[in-house]
A and B are shown apart, each in its own frame.
Chain A
Amino acid sequence: MFNNFFFIGLPYAALAVMLVGSIFRYLNFGFKVSSLSTQFLETKELFYGSRPFHWGLLYLFFGHLVAFLFPRSVLLWNSMPVRLLILEIVAFGFGISAFFGLFLLIVRRLKYKRLIVVANKMDIVVYVILAVQIISGLWIAFFFRWGSSWFAGTMTPYIQSIFIFTPDIAAVSAMPLAVKIHIISGFTMIGIIPFTRFIHFLVYPFSYIWRPYQYVIWNWDRKTIRKSKKLVNGVRSKNN
């Protein structure tokens, strides 16, 4: 029952809420989609918190993604102990970096009244869940070695089974508590994306890379109007 609820029910609920909620929030509450940066109120300590936290998490996110998408390649890489060690140590390093970043960010938040004023209730949820996620991750990496290898054999099939709608929880049910916590908090994190500032990572501005620097918007297609001989107005401008 416990396992069914947390490893079948929760993932589907979380993914559904994330998808529907994020799209709904993006389309209907665009004004509330923001990274809610507090750098303007305090910048020095943010540097030591935000940089290690974000870069650490970014690496770990892509690490998990690669292990999920290409389990064979990861296993192949890990076939030599030296390479396994390098991978594990680097990943652990990024985990530590994310942990210290988060720690400093929480300390910074509590230290300045200005920052407490702009914090909302969901920010507390965000801090707690991030702390649970990062600490349980570090715990697993340290006590249940070598995660990058056993992930391919146990977690990848489980997550795949979720995505192809034939959930198989045999492997995760047998996992130690720390791993279970890590999975549960991970899916919870996905589920609360639309309700928290987490949404900012869904709107990362990739399009900036290929768009031209200058951006001009026309309210109407001026040439069509000017040249039109018809009595009705021209067509709606494409950039609106």
Chain B
Amino acid sequence: MDIRSQISMVFHLDKCIGCHTCSIACKNIWTDRKGAEYMWWNNVETKPGTGYPSKWEDQDIYKGGWEMKGKNLTLKGAGKFKGLKNMFHNPNLPVIDDYYEPWTYQYEHLFEAEEGDDQPVARPVSLITGEYMTPKSGPNWDDDLSGSQEYARKDVNFRNLSTQEQEAMFQLERMTMHYLPRICNHCLNPACVAACPSGAIYKRGEDGIVLINQKKCRAWRMCVTACPYKKSYYNWNTGKSEKCLLCYPRLESGQIPACMHSCVGRIRYLGVMLYDADKIKAVASCPESELVDRQLEIYLDPFDPEVINAAKENGIADSTIDAAQKSPVYKFVKKWGLALPLHPEFRTLPNLFYVPPLLPTMAFVENGTYETTSESFWGAIEKSRLPIKYLANLFSAGNEKTIEVVLKKLMAVRLHRRNVTVGDLPENEVTDPMKEVSMDKDTADAIFRLTSLPLFSDRFVIPAAHREEAMEMLESTADVKGNHGFGFKEPPKRGL
């Protein structure tokens, strides 16, 4: 058993209001630079929709992630042979138009225009060429199902839904959507790390954050292809790839990543998970239907004395073990089984988990009218507007049973709380659903509290980074006393 610690996250999709505050917070800190304007390390997509970059989930186009070739786990579009062979031209690389061409507006013109008959306007200007341009797409072009003919209908996750099921989703009365905020998953089996020929991408042992060494990156571009979530971005100006760094300078000083700190809906949770690194390969190679369950098995119970001993043996700090015990992620993922990884079929073992949305199941269409009253208070999960199959394509590699259980648990919590606060439901209407998912009242209350009324310190449990000890081994701290900042001081000028 090789126990390591990993900073992981839970996003509660029922709470996401799609305000993009997270994206803006991230952009302002990290990607508001030349060459990085198009990058959204954090982005929020409307589902159904094609996402950003367009159709990123379709690995027939982008060849991201891992696949099983016989008994071997191999990279789909990169790897040692394919990577070196395609170095001179990578056939599976998305280009900037798959994301969007970044632009600004010519605001000065509003002030400096010559006097004339017309109102001056601020025309859009490309941030790459500086020429006038007509924006044709953007990172959230299909926000709130806009242009759903072009975008939502082309969602890759519809692939195994019947035409009838698809049509049903787009009937005006049944139309439904939810938001999907995405950052780098800091995977346990990262495809970007495996695909990098220079060895510039690495996973930090202490907290599992995946980073790109800007000095070692040589622009071979394989990480962009290999990451199935398209969360490694190529900076066209500096000729280096960049990605979400989970705000590690903030984490190391005990602060929350900017996207999570600024989250208006408070949908984000962050905490430590202990996992067994010896099992990574076996779990990543298991049959598709078992992927979710097997991945959840890899995370260990931080209260188990055996696990604690093994963790100590492996050099994990007491503070980290303590943080793992308080981790909200552990509760959502392991204890309550409410959160699932996004697209586990890519086999990267992502560490960002989503509580799937319990979309409005209250109202349904009957005899052509929009019926909001029904016999039972909430409609059944099976009658959900969003087909369970669709959610299964997103969060459980097509396994509908897994999603159903999670949704039933979420429903049981709601029924229980309705009973506590209003008490207008018949006894069996509350107890039966709770019995079905074997949930007691205390658990339901605990889920409710962490979902609806969590304190800042409940949502985010950051272990001490012990960076001070680490630094002392790398360099004499006296040398850098009185200095500030981190990293190297070279300006990000394009190489010769």
Contacts and interface: CB of A to CB of B under 8 A. Distances in A.
A195 to B, nearest CB: 6
B458 interface: no
B348 to A, nearest CB: 11
Contacts of B239: 34-37
Given A35-B219, A205-B198, A220-B469, A120 B205 contact: no
Contacts of A55: 88
A41 B314 CA distance: 46
A61 interface: no
A40 interface: yes
A233 interface: yes
Chain A CB count within 10 A is highest, among B75, B129, B312, B492, for B129
B131 A113 contact: yes
Nearest to B468: A233
A222 B197 CA distance: 28
A37 B495 CA distance: 11
A122 B473 contact: no
B203 A214 contact: yes
Interface stretch (A4-12, A86-94, A142-150, A196-204): A196-204
Contact of A39 (B89, B190, B197): B89
A233 B473 contact: yes
A29 B490 contact: yes
Interface string A203-238: 101011101011111111111111100000111110
Contact of B189 (A214, A233, A234): A214
Contact of A32 (B203, B314, B467, B496): B496
B197 A208 contact: yes
Contacts of B347: none
A183 B229 CA distance: 49
Contacts of B189: 214
A81 interface: no
Contacts of B203: 214-217
B419 interface: no
Contacts of B474: 219, 236, 240
A39 B91 CA distance: 10
B199 A41 contact: no
A30 interface: yes
Contact of B473 (A46, A114, A195, A237): A237
Interface centre among B84, B197, B316 (most CB of A within 10 A): B197
Nearest to B91: A47
Contacts of A39: 89-90, 93, 95, 221
Interface string B456-468: 0000000000110
What are the 6 closest A-B residue pairs judged by CB atoms, nearest first? Answer: A222-B315, A30-B215, A32-B495, A205-B197, A218-B205, A213-B194
21 contacts: A31-B214, A31-B488, A31-B495, A33-B218, A34-B239, A35-B218, A36-B239, A42-B95, A43-B95, A53-B88, A200-B219, A207-B199, A208-B197, A214-B194, A214-B280, A215-B196, A215-B201, A222-B206, A222-B315, A234-B473, A235-B473
Interface of A: 29-43, 46-47, 50-51, 53-55, 113-114, 117-118, 120, 122, 195-197, 199-200, 203, 205, 207-209, 211, 213-227, 233-237, 240
Interface of B: 75, 79-80, 83-84, 88-91, 93, 95-96, 128-131, 189-190, 193-194, 196-199, 201-206, 214-221, 224, 234, 236-240, 280, 312, 314-317, 466-467, 469-470, 472-474, 488, 490, 492-496
